């Protein structure tokens, strides 16, 4: 009888050990809420201001910063693409040191595919390499369009972009990179000799998967992107900005599921149906708001009802609504951090 009891106890201990081991392995890699802020970092002055603001952001409960730098860095691989007042590697190093000191995860962003112009100004990639333009020779002074795109099928564009990504990963000492990809309206254009007539969802998915292969498979970093082009505006009635009305939404079933989707919504709604949609598709989701406190609260409250370990937390975008030096006092940031009882925590990778 005593042997039976001892064996039963040993069996119970082994079972507990195996269950605990399984639970640890199956636990979400990011068990704590991601409380982030997205900041434009287009010049060295903004980089310096952000380094000064990091301590206040940490005190406010922020544990992640997405720094959209694009061409605002002194690239060595393609110096012709760097802006004149871009940040140097040393200046970014100071920002990295401040983030490390205050235990904030710093994620650089390079806007891919779309957003290659603003108003009448075309950015350096398509200015220096006009052969990469998705709509070559069209829309003089960018009239009648929102933003230009590069061609996802041009055989020479990815080697250039990957060189820039690699420099950012090194300078930021990054374990993740945000590739943008929002509001892509020019894709599969009739004026593009490579993309004309091709399925726009497949074109978009190819671009996403190209970046994923380089970043996740080869560089071993995480990849983030905005989610609006993966939402079908015919099914979820967000309109053509927050969702896709130009045929790219089908890419959602063609891309890697370990991409982190930043699902942005800036207006108050009763429901944000794309949040559970992305979760059901298997993505990790980082909902993002802007400057309307009512919308911030509505999105946070709705997101948290999902009770899904892949719902990561909340990302605040700023888009010039507040000076960098005043970020910690930005009302939406205070509202978002106070909404998570865990407060400011270190992000597990």
How does pLDDT run across 308-331, given as a tens digit for each residue?
999 999 999 999 999 999 999 999
Residues 6+ apart with CB under 8 A from 328: 53, 56, 57, 59, 60, 62
What is residue 212's predicted lDDT score, i.e. its pLDDT? 98
The residue written with tokens 């699902």 in the block is 263
Q: How confident is the model at residue 121 (pLDDT cuts 50, 70, 90)?
A: very high
How does pLDDT run across 241-279, given as a tens digit for each residue?
999 999 999 999 999 999 999 999 999 999 999 999 999
What is residue 127's predicted lDDT score, i.e. its pLDDT? 97
Domains and CATH numbers, the chain: 34-338 (3.20.20.80)
Lookup: tokens for 268: 């108050």
- Rounded to an integer, what distance in angstroms lies between the CA atom of residue 337 and that of residue 50? 19
> Measured between alpha carbons, how far apart are the two ends of the chain, in Å?
48
- Rounded to an integer, what distance in angstroms lies between the CA atom of residue 36 and that of residue 11? 45
User: What's the whole-model pTM score?
Assistant: 0.89
Q: Is the pLDDT of residue 348 over 70?
A: no
Residue 247, φ and ψ in degrees, nearest 5: 90, 10
Percent of the chain with pLDDT over 70: 89
- 243, 342, 349: which is closest to 35 by C-alpha? 342
């Amino acid at each position: 009888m005593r042997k039976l009891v001892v064996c039963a106890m040993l069996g119970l201990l082994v079972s507990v050990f195996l269950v605990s081991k399984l639970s640890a392995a199956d636990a979400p890699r990011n068990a704590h809420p991601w409380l982030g802020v997205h900041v434009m970092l287009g010049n060295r002055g903004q980089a310096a201001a952000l380094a000064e603001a990091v301590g206040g952001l940490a005190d406010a409960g922020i544990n992640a910063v997405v720094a959209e730098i694009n061409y605002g860095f002194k690239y060595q691989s393609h110096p012709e693409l760097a802006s004149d007042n871009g940040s140097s590697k040393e200046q970014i190093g100071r920002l990295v040191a401040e983030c490390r000191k205050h235990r904030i995860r710093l994620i650089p962003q390079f806007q891919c595919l779309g957003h290659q112009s603003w108003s009448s100004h075309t950015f350096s990639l398509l200015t220096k390499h006009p052969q990469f333009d998705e709509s070559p020779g069209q829309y003089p002074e960018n009239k009648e369009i929102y933003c230009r795109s590069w061609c996802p099928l041009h055989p020479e564009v990815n080697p250039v972009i990957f060189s820039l990504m690699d420099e950012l990963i090194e300078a930021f000492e990054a374990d993740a990179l945000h590739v943008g990809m929002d509001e892509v309206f020019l894709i599969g254009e009739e004026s593009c000799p490579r993309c004309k007539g091709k399925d726009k969802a497949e074109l978009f998915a190819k671009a996403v998967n190209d970046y994923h292969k380089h970043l996740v498979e080869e560089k071993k970093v995480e990849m983030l992107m905005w989610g609006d082009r993966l939402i079908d505006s015919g099914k979820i009635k967000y309109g053509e900005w927050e969702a896709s009305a130009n045929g790219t939404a089908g890419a959602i079933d063609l891309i890697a599921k370990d991409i982190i989707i930043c699902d942005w919504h800036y207006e108050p709604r009763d429901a944000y149906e794309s949040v559970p949609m992305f979760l059901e598709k298997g993505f990790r989701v980082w909902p993002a708001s802007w400057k309307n406190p009512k919308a911030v609260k509505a999105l946070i409250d709705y997101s948290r009802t999902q009770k899904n370990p892949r719902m990561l937390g909340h990302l605040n975008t700023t888009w010039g609504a507040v000076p960098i030096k005043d970020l910690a006092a930005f009302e939406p940031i205070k509202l978002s951090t106070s909404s998570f009882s865990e407060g400011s925590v270190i992000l597990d990778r």
